Structure 1
Amino acid sequence: MMVPVALLLLGALTAVVAPRSLARADWRDREPVVALWVWQCVVVAVLLCCALSMTLSAAAAWDAVRAYLFASAPRAVVDAYALGTAGPWAAATAIALALGGVWTLAMLVREVLRARTRRRRRRTELLVRAPLLPGEESEADRLVVLEGERPDAWWLSGPAPRLVVTTAALRRLKGRQLDALLAHEQGHDRARHHWLLHCSAALAGGFPQVPVFAAFRDEMHRLVELAADDMASRRFGRRTTALALVELNEDRGVFGPSPAPGAQLRERVDRLLTPADRLPAVHRLRLTAAGALVPVVPCLVALVPGLHALG
């Protein structure tokens, strides 16, 4: 009964090795969409290792689970897993991993509910500051302009998505810079980046002692911005998109000699103004395929004894 242990070891190895390999990769900023995909595959592989280990441990601990899981399997397959030789640790492992899964789901639900509460509060505040005019029946696709001395803009997602900008931002944004800003925010919405942020925040908040989840959260926040910058720059140009970022954030000390701690805007602007060449299409395809294979490995490890018995 070594498969659950092997899966846990594989999950730990993936959680340690994969983030370090991705941190050393020089293609992440050049291909943020591919990097987002690979990161998701890594985290799914880690979670899959835990889920499969939990399932096989539960099958080893309880006959009812074993009968259900191997209901249609030949006797040789059941014997290959040696489920009857498991010690008392099998039940403890299954319960611990199941509690971890329930905790993960609870953290995700909490994160989604918090996001909805924030969005509902901002919509209420926005309706007070910018109510619907007579004759307006829908809030969808509205560009809402608020009086404000500080340049600011944000995308309010939901069933009626809107771009909210202040008058100070409108005075600063020139030409097609407002269009680039709108394209950036729409890129977030169309790619459903908020779900990536919710999931990464739930894992990092629920398991703060697991470094891979903290790295996943940090990279999601960084990569989704790069991906949205690329979406905007393809339509309106890199220079226009970079100038829009500068105009909106110049007064916040981000671009000074001592930028604000944690600010990534300077790096984003530099990346837009001095772009590196994209990877060849074949290279992008190989990276995408390699990422997709990462979650397949735990499945193969879990199936090896059964496949060997059938063979």
Structure 2
Amino acid sequence: MMVPAALLLLGALVAVVAPRLLARADWLDREPVVALWAWQCVVAAVLLCCALSMTLSASAAWQAVRGQVFAPAPNSVVDAYALGASGPWAATTAVALACGGLWTAAMLTREIVRARARRKRSRADLLVRAPLLPGEERRRNRLVVLESDRPDAWWLPGAAGKAPQLVVTTAALRRLKGKQLDAVLAHEKGHAQARHDWLLHCSAALAGGFPQVPVFAAFRDEMHRLVELAADDVASRRFGRLTIALALVELNEDRGVFGPCPTPQTHVPQRVNRLLTPPDRLTAARKLRLTAAAALVPVVPLLVTFVPALRALG
């Protein structure tokens, strides 16, 4: 039975080759939304390879699983997969991949629980620093101003049934001039509307659960970078690239990010340079081709899985 092995090899190939191809591409920074989609398709293809290989391996190892998976299939399809000819490795592979799937679910659950705890602490701190006015039952406005000497602005994802809140400090209000504040708020609203927090949670869960897998670490790093570029584009379309670039400088110049020493926010100068020297955007036709090509990546494992069945039925 070669299909589970072929799926594992395909998953390893995608995990190794696809990040290198994306790293060499010259359009990722030009079209961050398409790049986000491409990265999600790559990771989905890797996970799909593992899930399909686990299913077929379990079908080969245990008759009960085989009866459930191939219940509606004719005998010719079952024979095409040569499930009865599998060696002892089928059960081992199925168990190992199942453990990996359970570990992934556990890491994602842990990330969501931690994110909710952080959000709860942030909302509690927000109520302490910006308490509700007398008679105000809940905060209806989405913008909260905090007294602080540090210029900053961020968005706080909403809990179930609650809208996200935009938070800006008084120092940021003093620094930002003209439409710069509106551009920063549009940037943060871009994060909230696209639900970038879910992309960050999923990428962090995979990278934290499988630190030895480079594709997941690259996925996490690229998600953090590309969501910022995508939000920059949302703001620049409304208020101009120069406005959001100047706003980024005003908010970050006191943090040393533009100095010679590296800082945790070294991506900020790159974002400013990208806004000041915008590259040519891709045509709609090329964006469509790239989107379609990325969508085909998760389809390949499905084709590999169903080739024996299609041959038997054909």
Shared fold (TM-score, shorter chain, > 0.5)? yes
Where does structure 1 lack aligned partners over 5 or more consecutive residues? none
Identity, in percent, stands at: 78
Q: Which amino acid aligns with 2:285?
A: V
**Pairing 1:1-311 to 2, within 5 Å after superposition:** 1-158=1-158, 159-261=162-264, 263-311=266-314
- The answer to whether the 8 A contact 1:140-1:161 is kept is no
TM-score for both structures, normalised by structure 2: 0.97
- The answer to whether the 8 A contact 1:177-1:244 is kept is yes
Q: Distance in 1 between matches of 2:153 and 2:265?
A: 20
Classify the secondary structure of the residue corresponding to 2:143.
strand
Q: Distance in 1 between matches of 2:70 and 2:146?
A: 62
Q: Distance in 2 between matches of 1:171 and 1:307?
A: 66
Deviating above 4 A after TM superposition, structure 1's stretches of 4 or more consecutive aligned residues are none
* Alpha-carbon distance, 1:146 to partner: 1.4
Q: Distance in 2 between matches of 1:189 and 1:11?
A: 32
Deviates more, 1:54-63 or 1:153-162: 153-162
Q: Distance in 2 between matches of 1:161 and 1:4?
A: 44
- The answer to whether the 8 A contact 1:178-1:244 is kept is yes
Q: Distance in 1 between matches of 2:192 and 2:295?
A: 24
* Alpha-carbon distance, 1:262 to partner: 5.0
Aligned residues: 311
Where does structure 2 lack aligned partners over 5 or more consecutive residues? none
RMSD of Structure 2 on Structure 1 (CA): 1.0
- The answer to whether the 8 A contact 1:104-1:206 is kept is yes
- The answer to whether the 8 A contact 1:77-1:309 is kept is yes
Q: Distance in 2 between matches of 1:36 and 1:249?
A: 25
- The answer to whether the 8 A contact 2:152-2:251 is kept is yes
User: Structure 1 175/33 Cα, relative in aligned 2: closer, same or farther at 3 Å?
Assistant: same
Classify the secondary structure of the residue corresponding to 2:100.
helix
Classify the secondary structure of the residue corresponding to 2:144.
strand
Deviation digits for residues 196-218 of structure 1 (CA, Å, limit 9, x no counterpart): 00000000000000000000000
Deviates more, 1:288-297 or 1:137-146: 137-146
Q: Distance in 2 between matches of 1:93 and 1:20?
A: 28
- The answer to whether the 8 A contact 2:155-2:165 is kept is yes
- The answer to whether the 8 A contact 1:140-1:160 is kept is no
Classify the secondary structure of the residue corresponding to 2:269.
helix
User: Structure 1 88/203 Cα, relative in aligned 2: closer, same or farther at 3 Å?
Assistant: same
Classify the secondary structure of the residue corresponding to 1:144.
strand
- The answer to whether the 8 A contact 1:140-1:162 is kept is no
